[in-house]
Structure 1
Amino acid sequence: MKNKRSVASLAATIAMLLSANAFAEQGNTDAGQSDLTYEINLLENGRVIHATTLSAIPGKSSSSKSGREIGYLAACESSAPEEWSCSPGKVWDGISIKVKPALAGNGDLTTELEIADNQLIGMDTITHGGYQVQAPRMSSSVAKMSISMREGRTVHLPYGADLTASQREITIIARKS
């Protein structure tokens, strides 16, 4: 009986040590991944319209956003002749950028890049249910791409719709932190 307890105790100790070792190795793997710092510039006709610096860990997304939220009178309704209520709406006017790096064992870097560009073109006044409310006119575009890049080297890429006469370009560089 004593021998069976000793074997069970030894097996439990070995299982604990293996589990602790696996946990320590996982911690070392995570600790070995260095942050990447991205410097991103969006240019229109050669002029910088947005610049940001993002830090990201391989396998995790990081994002940046610049612009403003614009409120407007979205709808009104009346429940009685003297009672009416209006509700606001909001639109985003600006640029947001999201990166998600993947670092291969051989050092190759692939970056998933998403750029959303929303511009308020105008705010129209319309009649809805007998009330005058506002209707925003927006221009929105989203560019998603996967970029193979080398650490420390700048990548230049065109982006945006071909509907405008302006030329848009992205410059992106990644460095290990």
Structure 2
Amino acid sequence: MEIFRIIADLIDLRSFSNLWYWIAVAVVWSSASHWVLGVPWDMVGRARRKGGRATSDLVALAEINSRRLDTIWSEAGLVISIMFPFALSFLAVTGFVYGAEFSQALFLFALPLSAVFALSVSLSRRLSAQFESSSLAPEAVIAALARHRVWIQLIGVVAIVVTSFWGMFQNLRYAAFL
């Protein structure tokens, strides 16, 4: 029967005390700051250092990804604008009004990621317009991606701190009832 208790502890829905939740938080924010608008950050560094072919590859990938995200937003933006706030408010109500810790954890995961998505859509729309007019220098693409990464990291740090404090509060509150 010991193995069943171990398995139950591994898949426990009390998210803030679960190691898997914190691993997922770390992986998501690490990936979000590495893949800036679909462009891997090491490619930006290589384009800064070496120039030439690395820069043209970076600009091409940034153009492809910005047009892709711009097209997705143009075709499905209305649906996303309706469904995602609905899902966020559902998670907020079930989590913070009715006390479902799993919903709280998902809300604290999804809300900052929605801000990152909004910033990415905004950047992709600006870059797509500039790519179409062919008035964008490679240095401007690198600078735009660097600024975008700083904003993603700032949102990620704030999200991790808020989630950590809320998780500690929930764990202490839960421990008081034991």
TM range (shorter): under 0.3
The structure with the largest strand share of the pair is 1
TM-score between the two structures when normalised by the length of structure 2: 0.24
The structure with the largest helix share of the pair is 2
Compare CA radii of gyration and give the structure with the larger one: 1
TM-score between the two structures when normalised by the length of structure 1: 0.24
